[in-house]
Structure 1
Amino acid sequence: MNKLAKALPLAAGGLALAAALFTMLPPGPVRGFDVDGFGRLPVLEGGRVKPADSVARNSLLMIRSQQSFRYQGRTVSADEWLLDVMFRPEVADQQPVFVINDPDVLGLMGMKQTSERYFSFRTIAPYLEEVQKQATAAHPIDAKLRTRFQSAVVNLFDRAYLYYRLKNTVQLEGAPLAAELAAPLAPGAASRQDALAELAFFRPLAPPPGAPADAWRSVGEALRRSPAAADAPDLRALAAAAAAWGAQDAGAFNAAVASLAGQVRAGRPAAVSQAGSEVLFNRAEPFYLGMVIYVLALLVLFASWAWKPQLLQPTAFALLVAGAIVHTGGLASRVILQGRPPVTNLYSSAVFVGWGAVLLGVVLERIYRKGFGTAVAAAAGFASLIVAHHLTGDGDTMEMMRAVLDSNFWLATHVVTITIGYSGTFLAGAIAIAYTLRRHVAPRLDPATTRTLVSMTYGVICFALFFSFIGTVLGGIWADQSWGRFWGWDPKENGALMIVLWNAIILHARWGGYVREKGIMAMAIFGNVITSLSWFGVNMLGVGLHSYGFMDKAFWALAAFIGSQLAIMGLCLLPRRFWKGQPAPERDAGHATGPA
């Protein structure tokens, strides 16, 4: 039994890490085509150089809310889909990639709402003129004031326009690039070149030798600068790849992709290396895998409460550590790929908050060894990564920084520090929730365990107060340098202050004897409400100097979260097992009945 108790945790953690490494293995050819090689080609989009794989994944995510889909009995990857869109539009137009849920939008297109959510471009194309008309009317309306239908129709039109731009990035639909290169001065060529330059969603042609690193060109720009550009080897190779994919000639396509990669590698080796690293990151999907491992850790821990805790509790902890390693690897990879500190936008803050909570939970579990550290850490890590996952729908999560945020020093000090404060406050609330559920569900309470939970919560609140306060002060110094004032009662600044004040109120209430264990725990749960409003809520207002993170899609999710926390607070303050005729006495953890 002792040998099994030592071997099982190591085996579980090792298997989880092995699974993470397995995801990074390169996929095989798709019907003989080197689709992976195409995905590794660097392009310029959104102000940064990235692999074509990232463009494909982000575009499909915006259009379909998924990075792959099933079609005709097989899975179509994002790279293969992008190739079809650009070079076989007659095939791509039949693939069901547009997700439409709004009944009024479906009614606009003469369709009834059914269980079917995905539609092809060919299906919606006859109605796009009316969709554009409705979207044009809705666009001038502030996003916060639009009706559900107006928001949905604007969203559909934007996705359809993105699809249209992708179709006309390398070659205009119906006008093969090879034909344009063969007759660069033919009648109408200039207008087609202008259209290619205007519609291009990304720039696939690397800068020529001696040009600035950001001087990537679209096909249209390369063609209209000089007729001699038609003889450029990169344009020729791109045209060959387009023709080969359209004809489904695997050999010719693979040769063209290899030629393109070689040309870029000769002139911009750093771009090729960066793109290859990002493809590995995309393929590994560390944050999705982290969610899976955290769920496994929770399931094993729950099982340990009913059977063989000496064996399963260490196994759950090993899985938690494996998830933390994968989570850390993903976070470190983003830092390297972006060349920025770990928190740069709302998405990365969700990833970082979960990471901080998991590490704190690992430390707490190593100190107390009660299983609760594992439970709250795995739950917090999973919840934060779920939030991050739902923030990916707007496309590239490693987009270029806004000018006001373009400071690695302040991103690494103020933003990271205050986000660690978020992590601590959420972790304290998670421990308090665990305390509440245990108090009402467990048939018997161990006073020592209860004291441990209260002690853990108190310590984490102290930790969170320290980092929240330091982060808020650093933010004021940054504001003074950027805007000429230390404090302006901006909604985001007020939110940061609320977190500091609430954590301070909890500690002073405890020191003054105004609350005991139940009161501390209820106040810690309310800390989740304060932090969620300060973190996400102020971003929904769209006002103030910090409104660059504006979002309104998560309003109902935030409202539901706050409602759930208030309900759990009430549950925390009710007598133990209050639903029974004679509630259990409140003499928990050795304390006499008294103030909450």
Structure 2
Amino acid sequence: YAGMVSAYAKNDATTFNNKLRKYQDYLKNNGFTIELSKTGKEFAFNNFDPFYKCEILYVLAFLMACGGWLTLAKWPNQTAYYLIALAAVIHTCGLIFRMWLEGRPPVTNLYSAAVFVGWGAVILGLILERIYRDGIGNVVASSVGFVTLLVAGGLSLSGDTMEMLQAVLDTNFWLATHVVIITIGYSATFVAGFLAIVYVVRDFVANKMPFDKTNRSSLTKMIYGIVCFATLFSFVGTVLGGIWADQSWGRFWGWDPKENGALMIVIWNAAILHARWGGIIRERGLVAMAIFGNAVTAWSFFGTNMLGIGLHSYGFMDKAFAWLMVFVCMQIVMLTGGLMIGTLGQAGKPSVQKTGQSALGLPPLAQLAIEALVIVASFAVTIFYLLKALGIWL
């Protein structure tokens, strides 16, 4: 192997091929015949690049779905649905082929996690579209599918996407249970957040696209249902992770940054449901909290890996922090925009309050600014003191 590396560095093709044949003979004689038989198929798989083809199909489907909203015609949405279904088939085949090549469950590293999150979101979007047939499922499935595969493509630039697993991960049972289940929870939380973004965008352009009370109610039900689904899977996945940690490290819970990230998702989704059940938030509050769920999940998924501390060292990364912050800021902007549209929309309606004033006697924009500041500041202070108390504040 060292001879192959040296020959490659010197651009000596003859020596490289000779060393390669010797290395292949060595592997055959030491029981790696099955692995060697997969090399040609892996080469063909990489040349076909199924996930890049999925990205193209997702973009086309997104454009068709948006066109369906603008023209109010049915055929663009139907075309988008079939494009997404085709992409989902290719996406699924790509995942299955990777599983066969590795001999592992679908999620083994950050790259495969991003691919799987996108796949889960696409499947959920197709199910929503099949039920409601209003184009919203198409938009969410295509947008989340494209974005996650774009992220996966960026992660692939850092090296081998089918690398050898570290010893702590060398268990197909826990990779197939804890990792898959909690990743489905990530997918569902992102889907709920993107559905909420669709709500805000549709509300913003309501004068150009129909977005009546029925549409709002339907979209709110989608968000609520997906949040329930996300809460279940993120909770079960976190508990299974604790059991795995007990077997691997001798303790169920150690307040590791990655464990805290998983707990944040569970708590945030549970907070959404309890706030909804308790009447603390209504339709627009549900939308705002679901949007911020995107930021919570992105931090738990990628941000905790950037801290560079804890037992989950196999997932550490030292770049993309700026992009993570851009994504978080975008969610805050969308959240604030959603609240602002709602406040301004209510300002002109007759009520017992004085025109142009809220229940607190403040102008709508002033109350909106206070509400947004309280939400963001409360979350930031909570996270700061949590990290500080756990001794992981950088």
Fold agreement, TM-score > 0.5: yes
- Deviation of the 1:205 alpha carbon: 2.2
Are residues 1:478 and 2:224 paired?
Answer: no
- What residue number does 2:45 align with? 281
**Residues 1:500 and 1:576: Cα distance change in structure 2 (over 3 Å):** closer
**Residues 1:562 and 1:170: Cα distance change in structure 2 (over 3 Å):** closer
CA deviations over 1:217-248 (Å, ceiling 9, x no partner):
xxxxxxxxxxxxxxxxxxxxxxxxxxxxxxxx
Of residues 138, 141, 151 in structure 2, which corresponds to 1:374?
138
- What residue number does 1:4 align with? none
Q: SS of the residue aligned with 1:205?
A: helix
**Residues 1:171 and 1:469: Cα distance change in structure 2 (over 3 Å):** closer
Structural mapping, 1:225-264, within 5 Å: none
- What residue number does 2:204 align with? 440
- What residue number does 2:326 align with? 560
Q: SS of the residue aligned with 1:570?
A: helix
User: Are 1:576 and 1:584, in contact at CA under 8 Å, matched by a contact in 2?
Assistant: no
Q: 1:560, 1:349 → 2: CA distance? A: 21
Of residues 408, 421, 435 in structure 1, which corresponds to 2:172?
408
- Deviation of the 1:203 alpha carbon: 8.2
- Deviation of the 1:552 alpha carbon: 1.6
Structural mapping, 1:7-46, within 5 Å: none
Instruction: Tell me the amino acid that sits aligned with residue 221 of structure 2.
Output: S
- Deviation of the 1:585 alpha carbon: 4.6
CA deviations over 1:400-425 (Å, ceiling 9, x no partner):
00111110000000000000000000
Of residues 392, 399, 403 in structure 1, which corresponds to 2:163?
399
In structure 2, the gaps of 5 or more residues are 352-357, 360-367, 372-394
CA deviations over 1:23-64 (Å, ceiling 9, x no partner):
xxxxxxxxxxxxxxxxxxxxx89xxxxxxxxxxxxxxxxxxx
Q: 1:299, 1:174 → 2: CA distance? A: 48
Of residues 14, 20, 29 in structure 2, which corresponds to 1:211?
29
Instruction: Tell me the amino acid that sits aligned with residue 492 of structure 1.
Output: K
Q: 2:330, 2:137 → 1: CA distance? A: 22
Q: Which has the higher helix share?
A: 2
**Residues 1:494 and 1:211: Cα distance change in structure 2 (over 3 Å):** same
- What residue number does 1:463 align with? 229
- Deviation of the 1:441 alpha carbon: 1.3
Identity %: 53
Q: 1:278, 1:540 → 2: CA distance? A: 31
- What residue number does 1:354 align with? 118
TM-score (ref. length: structure 1): 0.56
User: Are 1:541 and 1:547, in contact at CA under 8 Å, matched by a contact in 2?
Assistant: no
Q: 1:445, 1:398 → 2: CA distance? A: 45
- Deviation of the 1:575 alpha carbon: 3.1
**Residues 1:171 and 1:537: Cα distance change in structure 2 (over 3 Å):** closer
Structural mapping, 1:129-278, within 5 Å: 168-169=6-7, 177=15, 205-208=23-26, 211-213=29-31, 268=33, 270-278=34-42
Which 10-residue stretch deviates more, 305-314 or 563-572? 305-314
CA deviations over 1:471-528 (Å, ceiling 9, x no partner):
0000000000000000000000001011001100000000000000000000001111
Tell me the C-alpha RMSD between the 2 structures: 2.8
Of residues 121, 127, 151 in structure 2, which corresponds to 1:363?
127
**Residues 1:495 and 1:204: Cα distance change in structure 2 (over 3 Å):** farther
Instruction: Tell me the amino acid that sits aligned with residue 526 of structure 1.
Output: F
- Deviation of the 1:576 alpha carbon: 4.3
**Residues 1:210 and 1:456: Cα distance change in structure 2 (over 3 Å):** closer
Q: 2:9, 2:292 → 1: CA distance? A: 56
Are residues 1:549 and 2:315 paired?
Answer: yes
User: Are 2:111 and 2:155, in contact at CA under 8 Å, matched by a contact in 1?
Assistant: yes
CA deviations over 1:85-104 (Å, ceiling 9, x no partner):
xxxxxxxxxxxxxxxxxxxx
Instruction: Tell me the amino acid that sits aligned with residue 169 of structure 1.
Output: A
User: Are 1:167 and 1:173, in contact at CA under 8 Å, matched by a contact in 2?
Assistant: no
Of residues 430, 437, 440 in structure 1, which corresponds to 2:194?
430
Q: 1:494, 1:209 → 2: CA distance? A: 43
- Deviation of the 1:325 alpha carbon: 0.9
Q: SS of the residue aligned with 1:213?
A: coil
Q: 1:518, 1:586 → 2: CA distance? A: 19
- What residue number does 1:315 align with? 79
Q: SS of the residue aligned with 2:262?
A: helix
User: Are 1:290 and 1:327, in contact at CA under 8 Å, matched by a contact in 2?
Assistant: yes
User: Are 1:575 and 1:584, in contact at CA under 8 Å, matched by a contact in 2?
Assistant: no
Q: Which has the larger radius of gyration?
A: 1
**Residues 1:446 and 1:166: Cα distance change in structure 2 (over 3 Å):** farther
Instruction: Tell me the amino acid that sits aligned with residue 74 of structure 2.
Output: Q
**Residues 1:586 and 1:540: Cα distance change in structure 2 (over 3 Å):** farther
In structure 1, the gaps of 5 or more residues are 1-43, 46-164, 182-199, 215-267, 588-592
Q: SS of the residue aligned with 1:309?
A: coil
CA deviations over 1:368-413 (Å, ceiling 9, x no partner):
1111011011101001001100001122100000111110000000
- Deviation of the 1:175 alpha carbon: 11
Instruction: Tell me the amino acid that sits aligned with residue 317 of structure 2.
Output: M
**Residues 1:176 and 1:520: Cα distance change in structure 2 (over 3 Å):** closer
User: Are 1:420 and 1:464, in contact at CA under 8 Å, matched by a contact in 2?
Assistant: yes
**Residues 1:209 and 1:421: Cα distance change in structure 2 (over 3 Å):** closer
CA deviations over 1:548-569 (Å, ceiling 9, x no partner):
2111210000010000001111
Q: 2:71, 2:265 → 1: CA distance? A: 40
Q: 2:220, 2:69 → 1: CA distance? A: 20
- What residue number does 2:355 align with? none
Q: SS of the residue aligned with 1:363?
A: helix
Instruction: Tell me the amino acid that sits aligned with residue 312 of structure 1.
Output: P
Q: SS of the residue aligned with 1:487?
A: coil
Q: SS of the residue aligned with 1:397?
A: coil
Of residues 283, 297, 302 in structure 2, which corresponds to 1:536?
302
User: Are 1:358 and 1:377, in contact at CA under 8 Å, matched by a contact in 2?
Assistant: yes
